[in-house]
Amino acid sequence: MTLHELVAGQHVWHGRSARALEDGIPTGFSVLDEALPLGGWPKAALTEVLLPADGLGEIALLQPTLARLTQARQRVVLVAPPYIPYAPAWRAGGVRLPYLDIVETDPKQALWAFEQCLRSGSCAAVVGWPRNADQHALRRLQVAADTGQALGFALRDRKHADQASPAALRLELGQDRQIHVRKCRGGNPPARALTVQ
């Protein structure tokens, strides 16, 4: 049999580029968009951002996307943020506050609330801080994001980096404001760290 006959007879898998199947949602940072195989955040999926400490630019990394969504009158939800969001800073970053909701809950209920917001179909993006989520909990968040067609962002401690994760995209933010892509849907992660401004 020739290669053409094998492909035509469906005896071999005929792969396609992930970018051809689905483009990503722009992050607001051209360096990051160019490095990611989908050209941005994966749609209807969970993105995990690993941090060595809080306040190293994780909100600044998400802000262009969250601002764009709220400016398009789409709902964005923060689930159990560890600090009280400072409304003037969010507004200065372009976020339209009437489309930003905050769910305050105790840590035991935060994971459930995160999952429900993702699954609801009424949120364009949901940002959560799941402290003790294992890979099964993250899998539920990934499925919920897909079901609700939402962007999910799980901001977690870097100590979880060695754990398996079903997230479609996994980034690690360094103290030097560099981003290491640990895992990405649609291709291999870039070999070098990225610096976004």
Going by pLDDT thresholds of 50, 70 and 90, the confidence category of residue 176 is confident
CATH number at residue 67: 3.40.50.300
3-class DSSP state for residue 50?
Answer: strand
Q: Is residue 191 part of a domain?
A: yes
Query: pLDDT at residue 6 above 60?
Result: no
DSSP conformation class of 97:
G
Q: Is residue 16 part of a domain?
A: no
Going by pLDDT thresholds of 50, 70 and 90, the confidence category of residue 188 is confident
The total number of structural domains that make up the chain: 1
pLDDT at 27: 95
Question: Could you tell me the residue range of the domain that residue 41 belongs to?
Answer: 21-195
Measured CA to CA, the distance from residue 184 to residue 62 in angstroms comes to 17
Measured CA to CA, the distance from residue 5 to residue 136 in angstroms comes to 42
Burial 72-104 (b: 16+ CB within 10 A, else e): eebbbbbbbbeeeeeeeebeeeebbeebbeebe
Q: Is residue 5 part of a domain?
A: no
State pLDDT tens for residues 107-126: 889 999 999 999 999 999 99
Going by pLDDT thresholds of 50, 70 and 90, the confidence category of residue 8 is low
Q: Is residue 3 part of a domain?
A: no
Q: Is residue 14 part of a domain?
A: no
Q: Let me know: does 25 contact 38? Beta carbons within 8 Å.
A: no
Q: Is residue 15 part of a domain?
A: no
pLDDT at 100: 98
Q: Is residue 79 part of a domain?
A: yes
Measured CA to CA, the distance from residue 119 to residue 87 in angstroms comes to 26
Q: Is residue 1 part of a domain?
A: no
